[in-house]
Amino acid sequence: MFMITAKISKKKILAGILLIIAIPFLIILFGITNPSLKTAETSGETKELRRSFLLSNGWQTDSEYEEISVITVPQEFDKIYTQYNEIHKEQGFDLSKYKGLEAHCYSYRILNYKDEPDGIYATVIVHGGKIIGGDIHCDKQDGFMHGFYK
């Protein structure tokens, strides 16, 4: 039979317990587990900042193309908008926080979507100068929609 003994001081036990307790708080504080948490406070005040945000997620945009519209986030979400908001929640956003409020939608033509040379767009939704959501979508009849992250 093989036996190992170790002497551990009360200070080391206490330090270990504090470390175990502190790790989840550090993960939440620094957003280590989910890069999308960092986007929740990303500025979207200028075209350059919005395009930079898209580029940081791997999307190259047409520098000449930008469409702007004003929307009001619905006060009550129907089935379609609830599904749309699920895309946002998966990437760290939640449009339900903005129910009834106006926001600006900025659309950009995506140039580097795999196997799709045209008809792919990014929508970036901005409220109060901050990016609050958006998507990547195809405008073709059999199109698709997903979050920003590849």
16-35 residue pLDDT tens: 666 577 666 555 555 444 44
Total-model pTM: 0.72
Q: How many domains in the chain?
A: 2
pLDDT at res. 56: 92
Task: Mark whether 48 and 69 lie in a shared domain.
Answer: yes
In a domain, 106, yes or no: yes
* Average pLDDT for the chain: 84
pLDDT at res. 19: 57
Task: Mark whether 55 and 24 lie in a shared domain.
Answer: no
Task: Tell me 7's DSSP state.
Answer: -
More confident residue, 122 or 42: 122
User: Which pair of structure tokens corresponds to residue 112?
Assistant: 């580097």
Radius of gyration of the chain (CA): 22
Contact predicate 71/105, CB 8 Å: yes
In a domain, 119, yes or no: yes
Task: Mark whether 99 and 127 lie in a shared domain.
Answer: yes
> Residue 73: pLDDT above 70?
yes
Domain range enclosing 17: 7-34
Task: Mark whether 23 and 74 lie in a shared domain.
Answer: no
Task: Mark whether 102 and 68 lie in a shared domain.
Answer: yes
pLDDT at res. 142: 86
Task: Mark whether 12 and 68 lie in a shared domain.
Answer: no
In a domain, 2, yes or no: no
More confident residue, 7 or 98: 98
pLDDT at res. 16: 60
